[in-house]
Amino acid sequence: MTSNEREYVLGTDDAELMRLGLQHRLWSAQAFTCWERAGVKPGATVLDVGAGPGFATLDLAQLVAPAGRVIAVDESERFLRYLTERARVLGIAHVETRAQDVQSLDVAAATVDVAYARWVLCFTPRPHEVIARVAAALKTGGVFAVQDYIDWAALSVSPRSDAFLRVMPEVGKSWRSHGGDPQVGLRLPAMMSEHGLRVESITPLQRVARSSDPLWQWPTTFFANFIPRLVEQGLVPESDWRAMERDWNEYSRDENAFFWTPPMVEIIARRV
Ligand SMILES: C[S@@+](CC[C@H](N)C(=O)[O-])C[C@H]1O[C@@H](n2cnc3c(N)ncnc32)[C@H](O)[C@@H]1O
């Protein structure tokens, strides 16, 4: 982390960067379906809102090549440096990065064909500001595609774990104390309408990961990166984290164990 780096609640260190890479891989099929639905195509100008280290950005850049471009906006300069370096190595020249708070997003009016925001609005204290600015950046007929949580805390694990049930509410509290909303998806369609976007579809994103599935790594890496931070901050007792970790390790060897992902939605809204 650089000295002037403003951290989002999950941090911007190497472990989070790697976790975001794995997360993108595990959810890339859903992302691709969303982009097709949103009309991402060669020649398009795409805005990746809260792009992070740009794992989605680089895929989008391939889809809009050769004449299109992708503008990646994130408040983390560290993440954007990583994206710039990867784009350079891959010889991708049509990605532009902007270090900016997406709540004060500043992209030329009516220049964007598709804007994409995945797991970003849930972290912003003022999602309506983001939506207003994205709406202004979209061309008439342009699309804002969002994938985000409708109820993060509704994730579940089987078998039931008491330690897990004690720790999860603390994750939600910490997230809210940083100004985020783990239920933001419930508010988005109304906010989008207020800002001149017509909501065309609201689609559930829900999966189950068994302990033998690659997707099992998603909660595993999230818990390993994030819960120790809560322990350090005195928000979760060390003994609860240890008990949860023991349960999780045991479930990881149990072929009947499964994880029910936090309910999410994909929303496609068009500027009218
Ligand atoms: C969970 S990551 C998702 C990254 C990317 N959208 C993806 O799906 O891989 C959340 C990202 O939102 C960024 N972020 C959070 N709040 C922000 C804000 N107010 N302005 C700009 N970026 C923000 C963080 O820096 C982080 O990169």
Q: Say if 130 falls within a structural domain.
A: yes
Residues 6+ apart with CB under 8 A from 110: 136, 137, 138, 139, 140
Contact 52, 97 (CB under 8 A): no
Residue environment code for 154-183, b if the CB has 16+ CB neighbours within 10 A, otherwise e: ebbbeeebebbebbbebbbebbeeeebbbb
pLDDT (tens digit per residue) in 73-119 = 999 999 999 999 999 999 999 999 999 999 999 999 999 999 999 99
pLDDT given for residue 12 in this prediction? 78
Residue 248: pLDDT band (50, 70, 90) is: very high
Atom of ligand 1 nearest to the CA of 117: 6
Atom of ligand 1 nearest to the CA of 102: 20
Residue 6: pLDDT band (50, 70, 90) is: low
The count of other CB atoms within 10 Å of the CB of residue 47 is 29
Q: Say if 6 falls within a structural domain.
A: no
**Tokens for 113?**
């064909």
Q: Say if 30 falls within a structural domain.
A: yes
Residue ranges making up the domain that contains 191: 14-271
The set of protein residues with a Cβ atom below 6 angstroms from ligand 1 is 8, 20, 24, 50-52, 55-56, 74-76, 79, 101-103, 118-120, 123-124
Q: How many domains does the chain divide into?
A: 1
Q: Say if 59 falls within a structural domain.
A: yes
CATH of the domain at 144: 3.40.50.150
Residue 249 has pLDDT above 70, yes or no: yes
Contact 38, 64 (CB under 8 A): no
